[in-house]
Chains A and B, each alone.
Chain A
Amino acid sequence: MTTSIWITLLNIFGVLIVTVLLAAILTWGERRLLGFWQDRPGPNRVGPFGTMQVMADMIKLFFKEDFIPRFADIPVFVLAPTVVMATMLIAFGVVPMSPNIGVADLNIGLLFVLAMSSIAVYSIILGGYASNNKYALLGGLRAAAQTVSYEVFMGLSLMGVVMMSGSFNLRDIVNAQAELWFIVPQFLGFFVFFIAGIAESRRTPFDLPEAEHELTAGFHTEYSGMKFGMFFVGEYLAVILIAALITTLFLGGWHGPWLPPIIWFCLKTALLVAIFILLRASLPRPRYDQLMKFGWKVMLPLSLANLLATAGVLLWTA
């Protein structure tokens, strides 16, 4: 038992440190990739290929004045950025990264991740409310409506996977994909989850809560210093989490030939993160009513049809 405690601790801190570091590095990686796809260099001055840009940004953020406006609701203003970081990091706890790596083996792992992502919304809403600023408030309102709507399809699109594997446990779901990845029989589910995932992590094309040409910076207009940094890193954590979840649920998790499991997991996740960034580089932002209309009139029927078809096929073959 004594050795297993050390392994658990190693697991916990390993996952924690790696995810936070990855999210920090992604702030540089995203800008480099965006530059590459948009025919411009991106940050390339600090260190070799600009790799030290992350350090430079961090030093800058730490030394900036951490300004709290006097008209803000101060306790809520301070609480808001911590929520997104905390919930995203906790959610990583149930994602199985390889047969041996993964913090908790929760029997309702999938629901747990959904619950954490629905708690993470509070960060944006409270940030928007507590800033006491009309742009921030509008951003917060948009975020509330957008995330509550897209959460519905996000949950529904996953039920096909749950039905096929017969479990909410993420490890069981990965094991059920040993022969065939769920992206093949559950392509509609994958499609809906992918789009809902972008909307949940509020990335371009769905970044209307912080649309800079209409709302200055949306919900984080009043934030500066490390509080802004936490929102920023929280967003990248959400991106990595969604990519890791898609890998786990639809792309067979750690399954793959030749390479060790953890490498496969990281490769698939990195590929998905790159696709997220490519979408940001190439797609424009829709109008807000178009976003909501698309959600309720396209995504909801699609996910319901997927649910019905999956259930029908399973009952037919059972």
Chain B
Amino acid sequence: MNFIFYITAAIAVAATTMVIFHRNAVHALLYLVTSLLAIAVIFYQFGAPLAAALEVIIYAGAIMVLIIFVIMMLNQGDSTVVQEQAWLQPRTWIGPALLSALLLVQLILLVSNGQISSTQTFHYIGPKQVGIALFSHYVLAVELASMLLLAGLVGAFHLARRKKINPGESSNAN
């Protein structure tokens, strides 16, 4: 059990690192998909199958597809690889890297001190429990999210709507 967790976690970390350092946008996205799949496996292993399935369906299966869709539409080719290469200078990433290294040290200290008790006592959370929690305790958050989505939908509708053609210039408008 632990063995599987460590392998999956290592895959997730390695894939995420590759996302950051890879120069080709599509290859980086493929690593990101791998990382999401690895996290889904971890979710499943720790008793949250619904979260695992949604991670794959929504993140890996829909959002990533849309991002790849946009990259394909722009289709910038090799020039972006050179650009990425220029961006990966040490002075641009050394600051954030140091700060996150500090966070990592803190995390390791916390875990090794045993502040966080062993995670062996997780319990299984099925789809039904998730639904009950969403529509009782978190119902406000659900409603707020639905309003946000509705606003997004209306905005998208407005942007994509066809402009009304003035009768005077209808001859060249198309």
- A interface residues (Cβ-Cβ under 8 A, vs B): 73, 75-76, 79, 106-108, 111-112, 114-115, 118-119, 121-122, 125-126, 128-129, 137, 140-141, 144-145, 147-148, 151, 155, 168
Contact = CB atoms under 8 A, between A and B. Distances in A.
Given A107-B126, A122-B65, A148-B62, A129 B72 contact: yes
Nearest to A111: B53
B155 interface: no
Given A129-B72, A140-B72, A114 B57 contact: yes
Nearest to B75: A137
B56 interface: yes
28 contacts: A73-B26, A76-B27, A107-B49, A108-B49, A108-B52, A108-B127, A111-B50, A115-B57, A118-B56, A118-B57, A118-B60, A119-B37, A119-B60, A119-B61, A122-B33, A125-B69, A125-B72, A126-B26, A129-B26, A129-B71, A129-B72, A141-B73, A144-B66, A147-B65, A151-B57, A151-B62, A155-B57, A168-B127
Interface residues of B, number: 26
Interface of B is mostly: helix
Nearest to B69: A144
B162 to A, nearest CB: 13
A122 B30 CA distance: 9
Interface in B78-137: 126-127
A289 to B, nearest CB: 13
A246 to B, nearest CB: 19
Contacts of B37: 119
Nearest to B127: A168
Q: Give the interface centre of A111, A112, A115 by most chain B CB atoms within 10 Å.
A: A115
A11 B16 CA distance: 36
Contacts of A129: 26, 68, 71-72
B63 to A, nearest CB: 10
Given A137-B72, A141-B69, A121 B27 contact: no
Interface pairs A-B: 7 shortest CB-CB: A118-B61, A111-B53, A115-B56, A108-B49, A144-B69, A115-B57, A108-B53
Nearest to B52: A108
Nearest to B37: A119
Interface of B: 24, 26-27, 30, 33, 37, 49-50, 52-54, 56-57, 60-62, 65-66, 68-69, 71-73, 75, 126-127
Nearest to B64: A122
Contacts of B60: 115, 118-119
A129 B72 CA distance: 7
A111 B57 contact: yes
Contacts of A125: 65, 68-69, 72
Contacts of A141: 69, 72-73
Nearest to B55: A115
Contact of A128 (B54, B56, B72): B72
A107 B48 CA distance: 11
Contacts of A114: 53, 57
Contacts of B61: 115, 118-119, 121, 151
A168 B71 CA distance: 35
A135 to B, nearest CB: 13
Nearest to B54: A111
Given A148-B62, A148-B66, 6 more contacts: A108-B50, A115-B56, A126-B30, A144-B66, A144-B72, A145-B69
B53 A112 contact: yes
Contacts of B56: 115, 118-119
A19 to B, nearest CB: 21
Nearest to B68: A125
Contacts of A151: 57, 61-62
A252 B72 CA distance: 42
Given A115-B53, A125-B72, A137-B75, A148 B65 contact: yes
Contacts of B53: 108, 111-112, 114-115
B26 A76 contact: yes
